[in-house]
Amino acid sequence: MKTLSNGDYIVFFIYFVIVSSYGYWIYRRKHNADATSKDYFLAEGSLTWWAIGASLIASNISAEQFIGTSGSAFKMGLAISTYEWMAAATLIIVAIFFIPIYLKNKIFTMPQFLHQRYNGTVAMVMAVFWLLLYIIVNLMSILYLGALAISGISGLDITLCISLLAVFAVIITLGGMKVIGYTDVIQVFVLILGGLAATYIGLGELTKKAADHSILAGLKTLHSEASDHFHMIFKKSNPNYMDLPGLSVLIGGMWIVNLNYWGCNQYITQRALGADLKTARSGLLFAAFLKLLMPIIVVLPGIAAYVLHERGMFQQEMLSSKGVIDYNKAYPTLLNLLPTGLKGLSFAALTAAIVASLAGKANSIATIFTLDIYKKAINPEATDKKLVTLGKWSVVVAMGLGVIMSLVIGEQLMGEGKQGFQYIQEYTGFVSPGIFAMFILGFFWKKATSNAALFATIGGFVFSVIFKFLPYYANLAWLNKYGFSKMNEKGVYEIPFIDRMGFVFLICVIGMYIISMIDRSRGIKTNGLEIDASMFKTSRAFTAGALLVGGIIVALYSFFW
């Protein structure tokens, strides 16, 4: 039933009061009237390792995970967990190699890195691009998918849900990065607790009529009735191969997805850039451990909903208005089985995930706009007080634009049976190969020039578009024998988007190398970063934790291959 009882609303109200009160207390306790813009946007030196780790996960786990990942799990199974488990490995790499470079060179925003390493043109182009990406793809998708879920649970109008989510997120964001970081600790606790409740009820429903009602019995039933949903690596014959093309999730484009997201993304790295190296690394390691656990709360519920659907439940609830299965409805449909109180808790968890992600994204938008566009190109003499005020207004404007777009085009892009999570990954993937190529060569190859960086920025996007539409103008059947193309429902041999990202990344790297060497021959100099080998040494505790994370990932892939 799509309604919340009075008990559910009481649970949700308690959550809202706790988060708001704690956020206000943090704001009053740590607020300084003379705070600098970096203190406001980055919480410079204020976040502990556990706050950084929790904030990373709270900002990452949002509607696209609870709704999108669960929906993809309904369709393709445990394999979608590759985004979580490979992210854990990526966080270790970012902690060892990326964060030391940022902190050593006093880099606080991604456009600042591009300005310092290349030039102002590259930085400005990417700053504008990131703003568009964050608003058009991220804010819109989080608002729409989040509102879709909340509407599916509560029965409230989706327009009202979008508006309320935006208002709640703005309230949290206006407090600055300190408030976001510390309230995210509560958000993570609530979303994990509520997510576990959804998993518990799903597994319990599977064994409702059995003698053994334990969680272990539910897991065994889940595995036996959906054995085809427990493979991590797809063969080419699998109908979901286009989404997760075999070994590419281990040795191909999936690395570009994760390294770009976790290492070259203002929205994520912002959490660690205000801390010292030891604290930042500990926070990233903590986040890596949490990522290993995420499939329990965002993937297992989707598989449980699939099994229950196969048994005959949710036949009408899972249908879109056009009569096809809408995968995005898997998680909300499962939550409607929860009893009073637990349903309110899961409702609060879902809201926590959405709001935390929206707040983090809005703060990144404000940071880039004020520090990298306004201060550099419009008003270099702007005071810190003016920048903070402008940042708050930019949060409101960005959220307003996100609301408008989610209402106007959200349904067309992510509704009616589409996989919301895959939409986000594919369209972000149009630019991530070029961005990652520009960053990785900028880090570790001093000869990379600004012209090469511009090629990666613009050329990466152009080549992504070409590879997307090339199959409709050229027969790519010959790539099929190498596993890089597969016939779609229209009879066209299409390249999986993860493989497209790998191809585009290689083209960008080769192009950057050629352009850089030509520039060097013309006497064009580059701006190298301050790097030495000692930066990459880690403590024994961090090394032990990283090895443990790596061992768990190897064990998971070996068991569920």
What is the CATH classification number for the domain harbouring 195?
1.20.1730.10
Q: Residue-wise over 42-60: b if at least 16 C-beta within 10 A, else e?
A: bbbebbebebbbbbbbbbb
Total number of domains constituting the chain: 2
Q: What is the pLDDT of residue 544?
A: 95
In a domain, 119, yes or no: no
**Cα dist. 1→141, 151, 162, 440, 546 in Å?**
25, 12, 21, 50, 44
In a domain, 542, yes or no: yes
Split at pLDDT 50, 70, 90, the class of 10 is confident
Q: What is the pLDDT of residue 555?
A: 94
- Taking all residues of the chain, what is their mean pLDDT, rounded to a whole number? 81
Structural domain of 501: 429-530
Round to whole Å and give the CA distance between 18 and 282: 27
Do 333 and 230 belong to one domain?
Answer: yes
Tallying the residues shown for the chain, one arrives at: 561
pTM of structure: 0.81
Strands 486-487 and 493-494: antiparallel
Q: What angle do CA 196, 202, 203 make, to 5 degrees?
A: 90
In a domain, 390, yes or no: no
Q: Helices in 94-176 by DSSP H: which ranges?
A: 99-104, 110-117, 120-133, 140-154, 158-173
In a domain, 512, yes or no: yes
Do 270 and 165 belong to one domain?
Answer: yes
In a domain, 312, yes or no: yes
Q: Which residues contact 150 (CB under 8 A, 6 or more apart)?
A: 156, 161, 165, 347, 350, 351, 354
In a domain, 306, yes or no: yes
Do 250 and 135 belong to one domain?
Answer: yes
> At residue 162, does pLDDT exceed 80?
yes
- The predicted-structure confidence for 169-225, as pLDDT tens digits, reads as follows 887 676 655 666 566 667 677 777 777 887 888 888 888 777 667 788 888 888 888
Round to whole Å and give the CA distance between 318 and 302: 12
Split at pLDDT 50, 70, 90, the class of 45 is low
In a domain, 520, yes or no: yes
Do 462 and 539 belong to one domain?
Answer: no
In a domain, 548, yes or no: yes
Do 555 and 471 belong to one domain?
Answer: no
β-bridge partners, 493: 487
Within 13 A of 242's CA, how many CA atoms are on the CB side? 16
The H-or-E segment that residue 487 falls in is strand 486-487
User: Could you tell me if 229 and 76 are in contact, meaning their C-beta atoms sit under 8 angstroms apart?
Assistant: yes
User: Could you tell me if 272 and 40 are in contact, meaning their C-beta atoms sit under 8 angstroms apart?
Assistant: no
Q: What is the pLDDT of residue 416?
A: 53
Sort residue 43 into left (φ over 0), alpha (ψ -120 to 50) or beta: left
Do 149 and 169 belong to one domain?
Answer: yes
Split at pLDDT 50, 70, 90, the class of 35 is low
The secondary structure of 304-358 as a DSSP string is: HHHHHHHTTTTTTTTB-TTSSB-GGGHHHHHHTTSPTTHHHHHHHHHHHHHHHHH
Split at pLDDT 50, 70, 90, the class of 115 is confident
State how far Cα 394 lies from the chain centre.
Answer: 22
> What average pLDDT does the segment 533-537 reach?
85
Do 21 and 137 belong to one domain?
Answer: yes
Q: Which residues contact 304 (CB under 8 A, 6 or more apart)?
A: 199, 202, 203, 205, 206, 218, 222, 334
Q: What is the pLDDT of residue 207?
A: 82
> At residue 34, does pLDDT exceed 60?
no
> What average pLDDT does the segment 57-63 reach?
72
SS3 494: strand
Q: What is the dihedral of CA 226, 227, 231, 235, to 10 degrees?
A: -100
Do 43 and 184 belong to one domain?
Answer: yes
Split at pLDDT 50, 70, 90, the class of 46 is low
Q: Which two tokens stand for residue 402?
A: 């996100």
**Cα dist. 136→390, 401, 406 in Å?**
21, 8, 9
Instruction: Please provide the distance, in angstroms rounded to a whole number, between the alpha carbons at the two ends of the chain.
Output: 38
Q: What is the pLDDT of residue 366?
A: 83
Name the E strands within 488-557: 493-494
- The predicted-structure confidence for 268-326, as pLDDT tens digits, reads as follows 776 677 678 898 899 999 999 999 988 988 899 889 888 888 888 877 777 666 777 77
Split at pLDDT 50, 70, 90, the class of 82 is very high
Do 453 and 541 belong to one domain?
Answer: no
- Closest by CA position to 57, among listed 283, 367, 246, 248: 283
> At residue 32, does pLDDT exceed 60?
no
How many of the other CB atoms lie within 10 Å of CB of 296? Answer: 15
Q: Which has more pLDDT, 333 or 317? A: 333
Q: What is the pLDDT of residue 505?
A: 94
Sort residue 176 into left (φ over 0), alpha (ψ -120 to 50) or beta: left
Q: What is the pLDDT of residue 340?
A: 78
Do 467 and 540 belong to one domain?
Answer: no
Do 89 and 51 belong to one domain?
Answer: yes
Least confident of 24-28, 92-96, 413-417, 464-468: 413-417
Q: Which residues contact 28 (CB under 8 A, 6 or more apart)?
A: none
Round to whole Å and give the CA distance between 190 and 542: 27
Q: What is the pLDDT of residue 516?
A: 94
14-28, 69-83, 313-327 — most confident range? 69-83
Percentage of residues of the chain with pLDDT beyond 90: 16
Sort residue 323 into left (φ over 0), alpha (ψ -120 to 50) or beta: left
Q: Which amino acid is at 310?
A: E
> At residue 448, does pLDDT exceed 70?
yes
Do 349 and 226 belong to one domain?
Answer: yes
Angle, helix 497-521 to helix 432-444, in steps of 10 degrees: 40
Round to whole Å and give the CA distance between 22 and 158: 28
The H-or-E segment that residue 405 falls in is helix 384-414
Split at pLDDT 50, 70, 90, the class of 440 is very high
- The predicted-structure confidence for 354-386, as pLDDT tens digits, reads as follows 777 787 778 788 888 888 888 888 888 877 778
Q: Which has more pLDDT, 389 or 187? A: 389
The secondary structure of 53-68 as a DSSP string is: HHHHHHHHSSHIIIII
Q: What is the pLDDT of residue 399?
A: 87
**Cα dist. 486→135, 245, 257, 434 in Å?**
33, 10, 21, 24
- Closest by CA position to 347, among listed 526, 146, 209, 558: 146
